[in-house]
A and B are shown apart, each in its own frame.
Chain A
Amino acid sequence: MKSLLVPADAGYLEQVTEFVDAQLEAYDCPALTQLHIELAIEEIFLNIANYAYRPKNGEAEIRCEVLREPLRVVIQFLDGGSPFDPLAQKDADTSPEALEAREGGLGILLVKRTMDDVSYAYENGKNILTILKTFQDEPAREE
């Protein structure tokens, strides 16, 4: 598994995305699958950057591995901030009234719905969020 260590800061999002994209490059990842993966990375990494160490600073480690048969990618996000299980929260209310009344909670909902598996563990003082996405064949483009 390849690994990247960066400050848990929103300014490093692009570096994290590029690190994962580089692992996917050799495997001809379908475009829509790649957008889903980039979405999950943005939502998870920004959550860590904005909340994990608040008000202090810290680091985040991202691990990434592509597995075969079927082709799929496993990405892990590790941080040493306050223990927080994003999967233990109730799904955001997506009724129009609720959406208009408050913000937040949509990022993790997007991760749960676009990834094939999401799991959380707290080990050795670290939050570990693991996502799995199988590469999906896309129907031929309609012209």
Chain B
Amino acid sequence: MLNMKLIHRETGEEVRMIGRLDNNSAADAEKILVDLVGRCDHLTLDMEQLEYISSAGLRALKRAHLAMRRKGGVLAAKNVGKMVMEVFEITGFAGMLKIV
């Protein structure tokens, strides 16, 4: 179960991700993120309340990241929690995504 809340900030769009980015939620999350990427140049994902991510979730993040890079924008992640950061470090995503 994943909830995504869009927040407009002066510095750009922000999405608060709450719950689990897993095989169940990844396809919907990817659709929402890629759609958002099409409409802004700076998107920050607030992961403070993202408690879990799997390789299916990583795939969704990567596709959003690549879509953003193609248009020259920045996709960033902030407040990354312990489990999610471990997964980012093991898989190399910590070196690919902009983590603030």
Contact residues, A23-80 vs B (CB, 8 A): 32, 35-36, 38-39, 42-43, 46
Contact residues, B44-99 vs A (CB, 8 A): 51-52, 54-56, 58-59, 62, 66, 82-83, 86-87, 90-93, 95-96
Residues of A within 8 A of B66 (CB): 100
Interface footprint category on B: 20 to 34
Taking a contact as CB atoms under 8 Å apart, the answer to whether B23 and A106 are in contact is: no
A39-B23 in contact given A32-B82, A94-B92, A100-B96 (Cβ < 8 Å) = no
> B30: CB under 8 A from chain A?
no
Taking a contact as CB atoms under 8 Å apart, the answer to whether B56 and A99 are in contact is: no
With both beta carbons as reference points, the residue of chain B lying nearest to A50 in the complex is identified as: B23
Taking a contact as CB atoms under 8 Å apart, the answer to whether A99 and B96 are in contact is: yes
| Of B62, B83, B90, B95, the contact of A35 (CB 8 Å cutoff) | B83
Interface-facing stretch out of A81-89, A107-115, A118-126: A107-115
With both beta carbons as reference points, the residue of chain A lying nearest to B86 in the complex is identified as: A114
In the complex, A92→B59 CA distance in Å?
A: 14
> A137: CB under 8 A from chain B?
no
CB of A107 to closest CB in B, whole Å: 4
Taking a contact as CB atoms under 8 Å apart, the answer to whether B22 and A42 are in contact is: yes
| Of B24, B52, B95, the contact of A38 (CB 8 Å cutoff) | B52
A10-B23 in contact given A35-B52, A110-B90 (Cβ < 8 Å) = yes
In the complex, A99→B95 CA distance in Å?
A: 10
Known contacts A100-B66, A100-B96; 16 further A-B pairs (Cβ under 8 A): A32-B82, A35-B51, A35-B52, A36-B83, A39-B54, A42-B54, A43-B54, A46-B23, A46-B56, A94-B91, A95-B92, A96-B95, A96-B96, A99-B62, A103-B59, A106-B55
Q: Tell me the B residues contacting A by CB distance below 8 Å.
A: 22-24, 51-52, 54-56, 58-59, 62, 66, 82-83, 86-87, 90-93, 95-96
Q: Tell me the A residues contacting B by CB distance below 8 Å.
A: 10, 13-14, 32, 35-36, 38-39, 42-43, 46, 92, 94-96, 98-100, 103, 106-107, 109-110, 113-114
